[in-house]
Chains A and B, each alone.
Chain A
Amino acid sequence: MLSFLGKRAVASGISLVGLILLVFFLSRLTGDPTGLYLPLDASEESRNQFREIHGLNDPLIVQFFHYMGDLIRLDFGESIRRAEPAIDVVLRGFSWTLQLAAITMTLVVAMAIVVGSLAAYYIGGIFDRIATFFSLIGASAPDFWVAIVAIVVFSVTLGWVPTSGTGTVWHWILPISVLFIRPFGLIVQVVRGSMITALGSAYVKTARAKGVKMRPIVFVHALRNALLPVITVIGDQAAALLNGAVVIETIFGFPGVGKLMIDSILQRDFTVVLAAIMVTAMAIFLMNILIDVLYSILDPRIRY
């Protein structure tokens, strides 16, 4: 297990360096930030001074090595826009995103597993039909559209919840609900399919022959076997949320890492873009490890 973790860490480290390389040089292609930060009539002298302060005068390759040198000392650089360490800005945004993702995914997983399992157990019945109908709609609904319609209906027309921002519990309801829909629909479908296979399996027949009750048959015998493919999809969906639900955060003015990334790209705040990418990549790496560990907990045949 430890050597497995070691190998995974090395592999992730290599891809992280590749990612930094790519983003560092690509983001430079968007142009010089100087024009964005100084007034249009700023003198060439002050422009030069700005570039000097932010190290933009050096050749690109020298800038890169400076950046990497700082990075080894865990210095992610300063945000041009906010004049504070980039990592602080990113972690602030990431903590918002993390909360949003954690709450959403907990709700999604708990509800999708119950709904999907019951749909599989009552296959072809009325519950199954309703669940399948709504989960298909959920899985295929475009979230930006749902978000805007939700704002129009629940905030503007009915006035139940605020349109955007943060501050009260009420601010969280719309973003969570909108983010919930697609992963929920998708995971219900996967759980249902996987559970149909598991419930038709030979070991479930054995359990029935033993006189095991319906609930343990579904949620003890079948579910644990059915969860393996489900966990892969859960991990995938959670990763998407951790990356920052860019569209949703922007629509709801939610100060998460997704919105931060978009803003920083537009503002050519390179250090923040890079720090945000490293933080989310790290989070996704940790989550993948968690999923691998979960696999081996759920299935004793899987050993690393």
Chain B
Amino acid sequence: MDKRLLDVRNLSVDFHTSHGTVHAVRDVSWHLERGETLAILGESGSGKSVSASAILNLIDMPPGEITSGEILFEGEDLLQMSGERRRKLNGHRIAMIFQDPLSHLNPVYSIGFQIAETMTAHGISKSETRARTIELLERVGIPEAATKVDAYPHQFSGGQRQRIMIAMALALKPDILIADEPTTALDVTVQAQILALLEELQEETGMGLLLITHDLGVVAEIADRVVVMNSGQIVETGTAHEVYHNPQHPYTQNLIAAVPGDGDLAEQVDASVQPILEISDLAKHYGGFVALEGASLTVLPGESVAIVGESGSGKSTLAKTLLRLEEATSGQALFEGKDLLSMSAKEMFDIRRDIQMVFQDPTQSLNPRMSIYDIISEAFVIHPNILPKKQWKARVCELLEQVGLKAEHIHRYPHQFSGGQRQRIAIARALALEPKLIICDEAVSALDVSIQAQVLALLTDLQAQLGLSYLFIAHDLPLVRDFAHRVIVMKRGKIVEQGPVEQIFEAPREDYTRNLIAASLSPDPAEQARRRRALRDMERHPA
């Protein structure tokens, strides 16, 4: 068998949409060998997932159309096979896992049923599947597999769900596993576990692993070779090491340069002034569940304070109780000396001007039926004393230019902008009321790396111009390292450590913080190998 396991040759895929034809993939060629991990790296819209979907016949035609090329699986062109033959390969010889395991698992069937289905769909009788399913669950590290086999997807954590997806995909020991952003929705520590599991399973079975990702860190951690894609074309191919250290194409060079985590650390702001926000002993309980307990922190004028932690650590709860979107159970939050938590609705209304929020997903937080002018000027409608109506338009134009957008786009709608531009609009909306404090809840985590860098640069510029303070909620540590003055680390509703950014990243005191930092991925394969060794040491000899 000297034939390549998988060989994609000159593949082009078009999508015919109401806005015209999109050439999603143009003349793309790559191949995958047994036992190899190939990463396809690209940002959103680069077409990185499309060739994988084509392999599994998952492209809906129409609107999709494969205009040229072939996909050879062990020398035979998949695109020439009948639908029934391709169905028989899917799940049996070629399997796939996806980004968001919650929506990719059927909510109304037990996980046992869904794993067994991979086997029954390929002719294994039902009676044989149960024992094998439990075995698979044990193999991917689901505790109490024998009872959990009858549970439903919503009863598992995000990391466990991805393990279940992996068990489902590997049920028949496929020759190829395609993993489409398998760890993007997961916490860093869970990401490290899932990637380690994939690597182990690959060694066990000798399968070829095709990894689709936007994250250079994931590439550094696991990939042997990498294919870099940009707007439907391959711009660069090489080993992970070559591509990181010696990128040839300007796109790759920019992408690597945009990766956060090695910029200059911010200088601390003058701590002798009165803090703008002083939170003490803030707590929020839901019934018996403690979402937040004993949280105390301060934010100085002109300071960026980052709150980091894994999902469920209480960082969003903190922001919500601060804005009174949820009522705090106890504690105090002084904003310029006045307690936000005991304020009357009237006082709170006035103070909302000074505290604004930027959310994670600008697609959802901007009303799709309002023009940019309406979205931004709505702030003046709600707070009528700020600006006479005659000046609204001039002010909106000014704000748009301030966030790097063109004033003539004022009558466009959110869908006419890209993700990064939409987040700029959301920032302009927050700035409209000339706030003193902006709470950014994962404000850049939905954006591509290069766009992230731009938006963060914008936030830093605005801070220098306007003296803004930021409360920056994030899970991405390298990003926080480049942006924040001070960092607060949260775990299970409690603050475990806080301090200047330098101290947190260079001399963390808590194991939890050290673990978080060690688990975050470096884009440099050599550095990543070093971190992995450090992490293993830490697991073996906990301090």
B-contacting residues of A (Cβ < 8 Å)? 201-203, 205-213, 216, 220-221, 224-225, 298-301
B103 touches A211 (CB 8 A): no
User: How many Å from the CB of B234 to the closest CB on chain A?
Assistant: 24
CB contacts (< 8 Å) of B56 on chain A: these are: 208-209
Residue B168 lies at the interface, judged by CB distance under 8 Å to chain A: yes
Q: How far is the CA of A181 from the CA of B98 in the complex (A)?
A: 43
B103 touches A225 (CB 8 A): no
Residue B454 lies at the interface, judged by CB distance under 8 Å to chain A: no
A-contacting residues of B (Cβ < 8 Å)? 56-58, 87-92, 95-96, 98, 100, 103-110, 117-118, 121-122, 152, 154, 165, 168-169
CB contact under 8 A between A301 and B107, given known A202-B98, A208-B58, A209-B90: yes
CB contact under 8 A between A211 and B154, given known A202-B104, A206-B104, A225-B107: no
User: How many Å from the CB of B106 to the closest CB on chain A?
Assistant: 4
B100 touches A210 (CB 8 A): no
Query: Can you report 16 A-B residue pairs in the complex whose CB atoms are below 8 A from each other?
Result: A201-B103, A203-B104, A205-B104, A206-B96, A206-B168, A207-B117, A208-B58, A210-B117, A211-B87, A211-B91, A211-B122, A216-B121, A220-B109, A221-B106, A225-B108, A300-B108
User: How many Å from the CB of B468 to the closest CB on chain A?
Assistant: 38
User: How many Å from the CB of A223 to the closest CB on chain B?
Assistant: 10
CB contacts (< 8 Å) of B92 on chain A: these are: 211
User: How many Å from the CB of A120 to the closest CB on chain B?
Assistant: 13
Contact of B107 among A205, A207, A299 (CB under 8 A): A299
A205 touches B58 (CB 8 A): yes
User: How many Å from the CB of A102 to the closest CB on chain B?
Assistant: 27
CB contact under 8 A between A203 and B103, given known A208-B90, A210-B118: yes
A209 touches B95 (CB 8 A): yes
B89 touches A209 (CB 8 A): no
CB contact under 8 A between A209 and B58, given known A202-B98, A300-B152, A301-B154: yes
B108 touches A298 (CB 8 A): yes
CB contacts (< 8 Å) of B168 on chain A: these are: 206, 210
Most buried by B among A208, A211, A298, A301: A211
A210 touches B154 (CB 8 A): no
Q: How far is the CA of A251 from the CA of B90 in the complex (A)?
A: 57
CB contact under 8 A between A212 and B121, given known A202-B98, A301-B152: yes
Contact of B90 among A201, A210, A216, A224 (CB under 8 A): A210
Most buried by A among B56, B104, B154: B104
A211 touches B106 (CB 8 A): no
B88 touches A211 (CB 8 A): yes
> Beyond the given A209-B58, A209-B95, A301-B152, could you list 17 further A-B residue pairs with CB under 8 A, ordered by the A residue number?
A201-B103, A202-B100, A202-B104, A206-B98, A206-B165, A208-B57, A209-B91, A209-B169, A210-B117, A211-B87, A211-B90, A216-B121, A224-B108, A224-B109, A225-B107, A300-B154, A301-B154
Nearest 10 A-B pairs (CB), nearest first?
Answer: A211-B91, A211-B90, A210-B91, A202-B103, A203-B106, A209-B96, A202-B104, A300-B152, A206-B104, A212-B121
Q: How far is the CA of A224 from the CA of B92 in the complex (A)?
A: 25
A207 touches B106 (CB 8 A): yes
Q: Closest chain A residue to B152 by CB distance?
A: A300
Q: How far is the CA of A298 from the CA of B98 in the complex (A)?
A: 25
Q: How far is the CA of A224 from the CA of B106 in the complex (A)?
A: 10
CB contacts (< 8 Å) of A224 on chain B: these are: 108-109
A-B contact count (CB 8 A): 77
A203 touches B87 (CB 8 A): no
A205 touches B121 (CB 8 A): no
User: How many Å from the CB of B54 to the closest CB on chain A?
Assistant: 12
CB contacts (< 8 Å) of B118 on chain A: these are: 210-211
Q: Closest chain A residue to B57 by CB distance?
A: A208
CB contacts (< 8 Å) of B165 on chain A: these are: 206
Q: How far is the CA of A205 from the CA of B101 in the complex (A)?
A: 12
Q: Closest chain B residue to A300 by CB distance?
A: B152
CB contacts (< 8 Å) of B87 on chain A: these are: 211, 213
Q: How far is the CA of A202 from the CA of B105 in the complex (A)?
A: 8
CB contacts (< 8 Å) of A201 on chain B: these are: 103
User: How many Å from the CB of A73 to the closest CB on chain B?
Assistant: 45
Q: How far is the CA of A211 from the CA of B122 in the complex (A)?
A: 8
B117 touches A212 (CB 8 A): yes
CB contact under 8 A between A213 and B121, given known A205-B58, A208-B56: yes
CB contacts (< 8 Å) of B152 on chain A: these are: 300-301
Q: How far is the CA of A298 from the CA of B90 in the complex (A)?
A: 28
Q: How far is the CA of A211 from the CA of B118 in the complex (A)?
A: 7
B121 touches A211 (CB 8 A): yes
Q: Closest chain B residue to A123 by CB distance?
A: B60
User: How many Å from the CB of B96 to the closest CB on chain A?
Assistant: 4
CB contacts (< 8 Å) of B98 on chain A: these are: 202, 205-206
Q: Closest chain A residue to B99 by CB distance?
A: A202
B90 touches A299 (CB 8 A): no
Q: How far is the CA of A210 from the CA of B87 in the complex (A)?
A: 8
CB contacts (< 8 Å) of B88 on chain A: these are: 211
Q: Closest chain A residue to B105 by CB distance?
A: A203
Contact of A299 among B96, B108, B121 (CB under 8 A): B108
CB contact under 8 A between A210 and B121, given known A221-B106, A224-B108: yes
User: How many Å from the CB of A52 to the closest CB on chain B?
Assistant: 62
User: How many Å from the CB of A165 to the closest CB on chain B?
Assistant: 46
CB contacts (< 8 Å) of A210 on chain B: these are: 90-91, 95, 117-118, 121, 168-169
A203 touches B107 (CB 8 A): yes
CB contacts (< 8 Å) of A220 on chain B: these are: 109
User: How many Å from the CB of A109 to the closest CB on chain B?
Assistant: 19
Q: How far is the CA of A206 from the CA of B118 in the complex (A)?
A: 10
Most buried by A among B88, B106, B122: B106
CB contacts (< 8 Å) of B89 on chain A: these are: 211
Q: How far is the CA of A205 from the CA of B90 in the complex (A)?
A: 11
Q: How far is the CA of A205 from the CA of B117 in the complex (A)?
A: 14
Q: How far is the CA of A221 from the CA of B106 in the complex (A)?
A: 7
Q: How far is the CA of A271 from the CA of B167 in the complex (A)?
A: 65
A206 touches B105 (CB 8 A): yes
Q: Closest chain A residue to B88 by CB distance?
A: A211
User: How many Å from the CB of B179 to the closest CB on chain A?
Assistant: 12
CB contacts (< 8 Å) of A301 on chain B: these are: 107-108, 152, 154
Most buried by B among A203, A205, A224, A299: A203
Q: How far is the CA of A135 from the CA of B523 in the complex (A)?
A: 57
CB contacts (< 8 Å) of A298 on chain B: these are: 108
Q: How far is the CA of A224 from the CA of B107 in the complex (A)?
A: 10
CB contacts (< 8 Å) of B107 on chain A: these are: 203, 225, 299-301
CB contacts (< 8 Å) of A225 on chain B: these are: 106-108
CB contacts (< 8 Å) of A205 on chain B: these are: 58, 98, 104
Q: How far is the CA of A207 from the CA of B58 in the complex (A)?
A: 10
CB contacts (< 8 Å) of A213 on chain B: these are: 87, 121
Q: How far is the CA of A272 from the CA of B110 in the complex (A)?
A: 50
Q: How far is the CA of A199 from the CA of B63 in the complex (A)?
A: 15
User: How many Å from the CB of B439 to the closest CB on chain A?
Assistant: 31
CB contacts (< 8 Å) of B154 on chain A: these are: 300-301
User: How many Å from the CB of A189 to the closest CB on chain B?
Assistant: 22
Q: Closest chain B residue to A200 by CB distance?
A: B60
User: How many Å from the CB of A192 to the closest CB on chain B?
Assistant: 17
